[in-house]
């Protein structure tokens, strides 16, 4: 399935997959992870409405990391929380400290158990923070203060969990080093494996997610793509006039 660039598109996909499992008697639960910026996209709201009406067994997790690229969370909504957006769609909702591993686990488990028992979907807002830049083309220093980022670094969930394990005697330095070395080795192996995968055809985006014969719109898109890949101008075929 093609990777949706705008994350809000994951919500209706997860809801649809969950409904398919429900109709086929499978006790599966779908999870979708989106950012708080996705709550401003139409697909997010379409998916929540669909989930509420059809009681799809899924969990939608909004990772509120305070920044959608350079847009602060305060510019995404006038609501007090992102979790309460579920109210309009008749869905239960939770708000949790996204940097607390135990709180997140308990909250998500409760939502998954509810969905598996026939209780439908749940919306969870996990309050966290994006420490790094959005991507390599971004410079977060332009739109947020260094003090803000430094404060949130003190709440890093990995470091918090690590300190907890040390204080409980579950983890020591030798074990930590061994875990890090295994993880580094596994990461390198997976990178090499990914690089060894042969390139796929752009036409593959039309495979594996359609049932039955493709409709006219999909066929039209495939023909346009084939024309462009062959070096032609698909707009010329559509309109009779060359467009670049």
Q: Give the model's pLDDT for residue 217.
A: 85
Residue 133: other Cβ atoms inside 10 A: 14
Higher pLDDT, 230 or 19: 19
pLDDT(1) > 50 = no
Angstrom distance (rounded) from CA 173 to CA 213 = 58
Q: Give the model's pLDDT for residue 60.
A: 98
Burial class (CB in 10 A: 0-12, 13-18, 19+), 90: middle
Q: Give the model's pLDDT for residue 201.
A: 84
Active site residue 45: no
Angle at 69 between CA 30 and CA 191, to 5 degrees: 60
What's the chain's Rg over C-alpha atoms? Answer: 22
Higher pLDDT, 2 or 16: 16
Catalytic site residue from 26, 105, 143, 188: 143
Catalytic site residue from 114, 134, 144, 160: 134
Angstrom distance (rounded) from CA 80 to CA 163 = 32
- pLDDT bin (cut points 50, 70, 90) of residue 221 is confident
Active site residue 130: yes
Higher pLDDT, 6 or 1: 6
The pLDDT tens digits for 78-111 are 999 999 999 999 999 999 999 999 999 999 999 9
pTM of this structure: 0.81
Angstrom distance (rounded) from CA 137 to CA 57 = 38
- Mean pLDDT of the 182-209 span: 90
pLDDT(244) > 50 = no
Are the C-beta atoms of 91 and 48 separated by less than 8 Å?
A: yes
Here the tokens at position 216 are 């006219």
The pLDDT tens digits for 20-67 are 999 999 999 999 999 999 999 999 999 999 999 999 999 999 999 999
pLDDT(242) > 80 = no
Active site residue 208: no
Angstrom distance (rounded) from CA 115 to CA 57 = 4
């Amino acid at each position: 399935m093609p990777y949706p660039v705008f994350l809000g598109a994951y919500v209706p996909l997860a809801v649809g997959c969950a409904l398919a499992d429900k109709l086929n008697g499978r006790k599966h639960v779908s999870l979708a992870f989106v950012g708080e910026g996705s709550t401003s996209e139409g697909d997010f709201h379409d998916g929540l409405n669909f989930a509420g009406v059809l009681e799809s067994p899924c969990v939608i997790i909004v990772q509120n990391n305070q920044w959608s690229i350079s847009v602060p969370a305060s510019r995404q909504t006038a609501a007090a929380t992102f979790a309460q957006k579920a109210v309009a769609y008749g869905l239960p909702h939770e708000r949790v400290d996204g940097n607390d591993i135990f709180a997140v686990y308990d909250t998500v488990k409760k939502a998954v158990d509810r969905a598996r028992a026939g209780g439908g979907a749940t919306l969870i807002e996990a309050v966290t923070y994006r420490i790094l830049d959005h991507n390599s083309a971004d410079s977060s220093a332009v739109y947020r203060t260094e003090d803000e980022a430094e404060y949130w670094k003190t709440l890093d969930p990995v470091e918090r969990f690590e300190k907890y394990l040390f204080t409980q005697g579950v983890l020591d330095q030798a074990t930590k080093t061994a875990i890090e070395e295994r993880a580094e080795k596994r990461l390198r192996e997976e990178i090499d494996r990914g690089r060894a995968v042969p390139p796929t055809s752009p036409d593959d985006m039309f495979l594996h997610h359609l049932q039955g014969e493709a409709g006219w719109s999909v066929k039209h898109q495939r023909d346009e793509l084939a024309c462009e890949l062959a070096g032609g101008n698909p707009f010329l075929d559509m309109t009779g006039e060359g467009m670049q």
